[in-house]
Amino acid sequence: MSLAEILPERAGFTMGAVLADPSLGASRREVDESIVLFEPRTPANALYFIEAGQVRVYQIGHDGSTRLSDIFGAGDWFGIAALAGSEDYGNRAVTVSRSVVWTIPVDRLIQALGRDSSLTRKLVAQLATRLEEANNTAARMMFEDCNQRLVQTLLRFSRTAAATSQEDGGVVLRITHQQLAQAVGAARETVSLGLTQLRQKNLLRTGRNRLSFNPIALEQFSRRQLANGHPVANGQPVKVE
């Protein structure tokens, strides 16, 4: 979700200028790699915007296990709990590279929403879009088997800051098998096996903490699979009522 997309009609303003608008009370800071921006119990009172770098957001389970939920890059914003009026963020946000990050007090931003109807409409549309995607992700956990979810997760991350485009139309995705497993919602061994199968089909190359693939070829493969496949949930076929 890009700030540029929310604010394109503020002609004559750069993103920096908008954020520097004193009425928003935004503050800018440069942050090293591997710095925690917030923890699950951090009070949710600000929205975060990324000017440069990369931030990953993790959900934390009751036993401390983690799930990579989102990868954000330049122009993206996060910290949805602040907009929801939640007490704390509930997640952990960590910089993956040296980053430049803006924080905006959420009460100021909400006041700005009331003043700027164009900003408002775009924010509502972006929130609704993210909600649709989140609902689809939850449905996928039921309708699709682990390998199908692996392919969908690779495609999703190929559109984030973790991916670098290549000249041949492919992307290089910087991610470990463990992080990918967290995002897919499966054991690392299961995901590694799925990656091996994709490699054997020449749909993917693997390297140290990196994966290379052509998103268009992978998407076509996925469609063929779904057209022929038999989605299962927890190993049992699901019937229509």
**Closer of 52 and 59 to a copy of itself (Cβ):** 59
**Closer of 81 and 161 to a copy of itself (Cβ):** 81
**Closer of 82 and 170 to a copy of itself (Cβ):** 82
Q: Compute the distance between CA of residue 172 and CA of residue 208 in angstroms, rounded to an integer.
A: 11
Considering the complex, what minimum distance in angstroms separates the CB of residue 220 from a copy of itself?
15
Considering the complex, what minimum distance in angstroms separates the CB of residue 157 from a copy of itself?
15
Q: Compute the distance between CA of residue 102 and CA of residue 50 in angstroms, rounded to an integer.
A: 6
For residue 162, CA distances in Å to 106, 108, 153, 206 come to 27, 31, 12, 15
DSSP 8-state assignment for residue 2: B
Considering the complex, what minimum distance in angstroms separates the CB of residue 165 from a copy of itself?
26
For residue 158, CA distances in Å to 152, 208, 213 come to 10, 17, 9
For residue 15, CA distances in Å to 113, 124, 162 come to 16, 19, 22
Q: Compute the distance between CA of residue 144 and CA of residue 155 in angstroms, rounded to an integer.
A: 15
Considering the complex, what minimum distance in angstroms separates the CB of residue 8 from a copy of itself?
15
Considering the complex, what minimum distance in angstroms separates the CB of residue 169 from a copy of itself?
26
Helical residues (DSSP H) of the chain, grouped into ranges? 3-6, 15-20, 80-84, 106-115, 117-143, 146-157, 177-184, 188-200, 215-228
**Closer of 36 and 139 to a copy of itself (Cβ):** 139
Residue 48 near residue 81, CB atoms below 8 Å = no
Considering the complex, what minimum distance in angstroms separates the CB of residue 52 from a copy of itself?
24
Handedness of CA 143, 146, 147, 151 (dihedral sign): positive
**Closer of 49 and 170 to a copy of itself (Cβ):** 49
Contact positions vs a copy of itself (CB under 8 A) = 59, 61-67, 69, 80-81, 83-86, 90, 110, 113-115, 117-118, 120-121, 123-125, 127-132, 134-139, 141-144, 146, 176, 178-179, 181-182, 185-190, 226-227, 229-231, 233-241
**Closer of 167 and 239 to a copy of itself (Cβ):** 239
